[in-house]
Amino acid sequence: MKTRETDVLFPAHWRRNLWNAIIYALLIAGSLMFLLPLFWVFSSSLKPEYQIFKIPPQWIPNPIRWQNYSEAWTYVPFGRFMLNTLIIAAGAITGNLLSCTIIAYGFARLRAPGKNMLFILMLSTMMLVEPVRIIPMYIEFKTLGWIDTFLPMIVPAFFGSPFYIFLLRQFFMNIPKDLSDAALIDGASHLQILWRIILPISKPALAAVAIFNFQGVWNDFLYPLVFLHRHTNFTIALGLNFFRSSYSIQWGNLMAASMMALLPMVVVFFLAQRYFIEGISFSGIKG
């Protein structure tokens, strides 16, 4: 490297340190901005009503009012809403894991005429705008008598979801073929290869699918809003909306309820962070 004039005045390690200091300053300022709303809401969820509207804001609640949580929990059946959401999530995840692995295996490992065309067709459905499907699907499920049941949110999962199929297919493509070829010559069926060879080494990809799916179900609002009507069937998202709109709510209670709805997702995120990131890199969405 040629020596620049600046190197004499500012040695390389000085510049390096200055650069690092700027990076840290930006990282810290940025993450404070990202964390502050969450901290603020958490703090509000523990405040008695008279402190909530205090100006300038009271950052640390005093006294801490945990009752905001227990009151919110009992005003509306949040336990039931969580259970409903978990049932839908369990059903949808089971469906997607079963169907998507088999479909992805086909796309990744088998040769057949028309395969590429079908694959492109599948990818293009990822870009379809949801609202164009929702009215006919509502009518479809109404005819089947499935409105106000969990089936509209579970059954389609058994037919695979384009994004998860794509993700698993990318992962399966990267598994060396030697092992499965040897098994094929020994007379193993494709189902046996999928079950005995492919799936055991695909756990990270399967986990990514399960987690993305859980996130999707937990956060989903439009589908439950259209398909579920009775309060006892509500998911956590619908339940929170119901809680928000049907009571003359104390902000402290509402923030406590929101924290309860966010918390499971936050926990899942921290436990399974690497799968979120890995899932994105498996799918090869990058340079």
Partner 1 sequence: MTVITQRFFPARLRWSLQKREALTFYLCVLPWFIGFLLFYLGPVLASFYFSLTKWDLITPPQFIGLDNYERIFTRDKYFLQAIKVTTIYTFTYVPLDLVFGLLIALLVNQRVRGVGIFRTIFYMPSVLAGVAYVVMWMWVFNPQAGLINGLLAYFGVQGPRWLLDPKWALPALIIMSLWGVGRTMVIYLAGLQDIPRELYESASIDGANAWSRFWNITLPLLTPSILFNLIFSIILTFQSFTNVYIATNGGPLDATLFYVLYLYRKAFEHLAMGYASALAWILFLIVLVCTLIIFTTSGKWVFYRGVEE
Q: How far is the CB of 67 from partner 1 (least distance, A)?
A: 18
Show contacts with partner 1 in window 82-121 (CB under 8 A): 99, 102-103, 105-107, 110-113, 115, 118, 121
For partner 1, the binding residues in 238-277 under the rule CB under 8 A are 238, 240-241, 244, 251, 254-255, 257-259, 261-262, 265-266, 269-270, 273, 276-277
The answer to whether residue 64 forms part of the interface with partner 1 (CB under 8 A) is no
Joined tokens for residue 61:
């609640």
User: What's the CA gap between 194 and 172, in Å, rounded?
Assistant: 10
Nearest to 46 by CA among 23, 27, 25, 62: 62
* Residues 126-145 close enough to bind partner 1 by CB under 8 A: 127-140
Q: Look-up: residue for tokens 């809403």?
A: 81
How many CB atoms neighbour CB 85 within 10 A?
26
Residue 1 lies near partner 1 (rule: CB under 8 A): yes
> Do 97 and 210 touch, CB atoms closer than 8 A?
yes
44 binds partner 1, rule: CB under 8 A: yes
Site residues for partner 1, 157-196, by CB under 8 A, read 158-160, 165, 177, 181, 184-185, 190
Q: How far is the CB of 139 from partner 1 (least distance, A)?
A: 8
Site residues for partner 1, 223-242, by CB under 8 A, read 225-226, 236-238, 240-241
Q: Are 196 and 129 in contact (CB under 8 A)?
A: no
Smallest separation (angstroms) from partner 1 to the CB of 258: 4
Give the list of residues 6+ apart from residue 216 with CB closer than 8 angstroms, or none: 92
CB of 127 to partner 1, least distance (A): 6
Token pair 């040897």 in the structure block, residue: 182
CA-to-CA distance for 189 and 110, rounded, in angstroms? 12
